[in-house]
Amino acid sequence: MKVSEARTLETLANLIGARLKGDPHCVINGIAPLERATKGDLSFLSNRNYKKFLANTQASAVIISPEDLEACTTHALICDNPRLSLAKVAKLYEPQQTVVQGIHPTAIVGQGCRISTTAAIGPYVVLGDGVEVGEAVIIGSGCSIGNQCQIGNRTALRSRVTLYDNVRLGEDCLIHSGAVIGSDGFGFAHHEGTWFKVPHIGGVQVGSQVEIGSNTTIDRGFLEDTIIGEGVIIDNLVQIGHNVSIGASTAIAGCVGIAGSTTIGKHCLIGGGSSIAGHIQITDQVHITATSAVNHSLLVKGVYSSGFPAKPAAIWRKNAARFQFLDDIARRLRRLEQKVQAGDAQLAEDE
């Protein structure tokens, strides 16, 4: 990627707080991966899987950790967390969104709303009654905001975000397009073959500095609120059920499904495609690897996995054919163990 403004390595080092090795006057006019970088590009090594490209990279400089510096053959910006430093560099070149303060003429504003004069309300936005919009808030085109919603200072909603009634967003949040927050939970009572819908009269509380990905859905609570803690990051296409509580700084990757009334602790990592059953508890600092199925509480911090990794189809078909015999094999093995134990006991008596 070519950057909008060329900068010297010395300037970049000062801006991101890195130590410089090499020519401070080297000019950087692009950012690229190690294997595709050319002269003038700044590259990075944040994942050891790509270290094999370091020796032959054509990049003019590399963001790198002290541990990998010896293998670097070009100029370097040295830091303890290369991924964080890369993010800081990319932030310098992030395109700035044009924001026009005020309410667009096509927007519809309900009764009793309180909107900061520094907020930007885009085209075709609909605000329900009693909505509170904080300072420097950005609400993109086509958003729908329900009654009694609160949007904290400097929070941004991209286009076509939907907030149902009684949703409260903290400060400095980012909600991506298509997200739906506060829809009814999946709650029904079954009686004589018929499903009766259970009204959900709770809301959703979202802490500050939360990011919610595109087309993610967060259901409102039944009697109490669904709660998303401060600093939580949620990827695209995540489903969070009613009355779920997610602790601060937890990260949830794409396509995760969390059933209702589950409590997830702080600083957890949930891999993509995982499914989490309802009415369970996951303690702090739990890492659930991708595509895992969590059907019971995890009360001890650590890494948890389930599911089967991909195998060549021929091997998988053989294994799948044998699954139906596992119970029979286990029973036969148990009988053999009992016979062996009985034989050992007999030998001990004979001695």
Q: What is the DSSP letter of 92?
A: H
Rg of the Cα atoms in the chain: 27
Asked if residue 68 lies in contact with residue 83, where contact means CB atoms within 8 angstroms, the answer is no
* Paired residues of 114 in beta bridges: 132
Asked if residue 128 lies in contact with residue 148, where contact means CB atoms within 8 angstroms, the answer is yes
Q: Which residues are catalytic?
A: 242
Element (H, E) at 237: none
Nearest to 179 by CA among 239, 227, 128, 119: 239
* Paired residues of 167 in beta bridges: 204
Nearest to 270 by CA among 248, 252, 293: 252
Sign of the torsion angle spanned by Cα atoms 26, 32, 33, 34: negative
Helix (H, G, I), strand (E, B) or coil at 304: strand
β-bridge pairing 27-31 and 41-44: parallel
Helix (H, G, I), strand (E, B) or coil at 137: coil
* Paired residues of 28 in beta bridges: 7
Q: Which residue has the tokens 């809301």?
A: 203
Helix (H, G, I), strand (E, B) or coil at 188: strand
Nearest to 204 by CA among 235, 173, 236, 177: 173
Distance, in Å, from the CA atom of 87 to the CA atom of 28, rounded to the nearest integer, reads 16
Element (H, E) at 43: strand 41-44
Nearest to 221 by CA among 190, 182, 257, 188: 182
